[in-house]
Amino acid sequence: MAHLAPTKKWDARYLGPVPHDASYYSKCLLGGVLACGTTHAGITPLDVTKCNMQVNPAKYRGLVSGLRTIIAEEGVAGTWKGFGPTLIGYSFQGAFKYGLYEIFKDTYMNLAGEEASEQYKGLIWLAGSASAEFFADIALCPWEMTKVKIQTSVPGSFPVPMGAALSQMRASAVETRFPFGSLVPLWSRQIPYTMAKFYFFEKIVQTFYTRVFTAPKETYNKPTQLGITFASGYLSGVVCAIVSHPADTLVSLLGKPGNKGKTVGTIASETGFVTLATKGLGARVVMIGTLTGFQWWIYDSFKSAMGLGTTGGK
């Protein structure tokens, strides 16, 4: 597709190494699929253990011991429950999260104008990421609900194969509120998470290039730039995990059989904020920190391979 013709008017779409045209946004969308789908699916055993720690903390007391319990009762295959809906759901989510973020960020910068977009850069990162995640969660929600139900149900009480699980979720839609019953708690988990993820990533990358690697960004080779990307992504992931953990616990608890028919407010009240904010947090910090670091690394590696340059900078 031909590049957009540059104009004399300031335009955020021409600030990077290549114009941000339809081809650029499409490649960012595909990069998001690779970044989120593969990483989330790859850590399914950690996710299975974390969800069960949240739903049944008396039985699954820690990451290692919880993993051992699952393997002892269900075999190694039990740690990979929900792999299918995780791969599909987070591929959809990643496409919207990363692809739309680039679009919204450029749009909001152009609406603000050159001076204001520089002055309020952080607010634009926050607004762009929140807008992108709003739509990303709509795409993710049915798959996330199915994944959680598969992972937290008592063995034998709910189908594990993805097709059968989706059919069961549709058949029991009145009880499960499938496909969008978890959308509000998902928004409450993912929108703050993504705002933190993108804001702190952009901020940390900017700090690296202004305080540590002070030469022009383009003078550093790709391995160095991608190393900065991974470090920034990991650190932003730790913040994300802490910010979004209470809502993540709620999403897991919604799939617990004993909470069938209860509202989000009732479950939150019965569980208590301290438990929502802390149970399984250590496992999630490790999981999300690593996950976020690799997501940004995969995303920027793909962008670099496509000639788009790495994300962020001065």
Quote the tokens at residue 159: 């189908």
Return the closest-CA partner of residue 243 out of 204, 294, 205, 281: 281
Distance CA 237, CA 222 (A): 22
CATH number of 18-305: 1.50.40.10, 1.10.10.10, 3.90.1720.10, 1.25.40.10?
1.50.40.10
Report pTM: 0.82
Alpha-helix runs per DSSP H in 208-306 = 222-254, 264-271, 273-278, 281-305
CB distance 72 to 130 below 8 Å: no
**Distances, alpha carbon 266 to alpha carbons 231, 254, 302, in Å:** 39, 11, 44
Structure tokens that stand for 51 in this block? 């969800």
The pLDDT, as a whole number, for residue 192 is 86
Using DSSP's 3-state secondary structure scheme, residue 256 falls into: coil
State the Cα–Cα distance between residues 242 and 153, nearest whole angstrom.
26
Residue type (1 letter), 56: N
Interior/surface letters 272-291, b for 16+ CB within 10 angstroms, e for the rest: eeebbeebbbebbbbbbbbb
Q: Which residue has the tokens 């607004």?
A: 127
pLDDT of residue 110: 97
Mean per-residue pLDDT pooled into runs of 10, the chain (314 residues) = 60 92 96 96 90 85 89 95 97 97 97 95 96 98 95 91 96 91 89 90 94 91 95 90 82 75 81 82 82 94 94 77
Integer Cα distance of 149 and 253 in angstroms: 10
202 Cβ neighbours under 8 A, 6+ residues apart: 121, 122, 125, 311, 312
Quickly count helices (H) and strands (E) in the chain: 13, 0
Cβ neighbors of 6 (< 8 A, separation 6 or more) are 14, 19
Q: Tokens 């913040």 belong to which residue?
A: 239
Torsions phi, psi for 180 (to 5 deg): -125, 25
Please classify residue 2 by burial: count the beta carbons closer than 10 Å to its beta carbon, then call 0-12 exposed, 13-18 middle and 19+ buried.
exposed
The torsion region of residue 261 among left (phi > 0), alpha (psi -120 to 50) and beta comes to left
The string of DSSP letters for 233-253 reads HHHHHHHHHHHHHHHHHHHHH
pLDDT of residue 107: 97
Name which of 162, 125, 157 is nearest 144 in CA terms. 162
Who contacts 214 (Cβ-Cβ below 8 Å, separation ≥6)?
none
DSSP helix, strand, coil percent of the chain (3-state; round to 5): 75, 0, 25
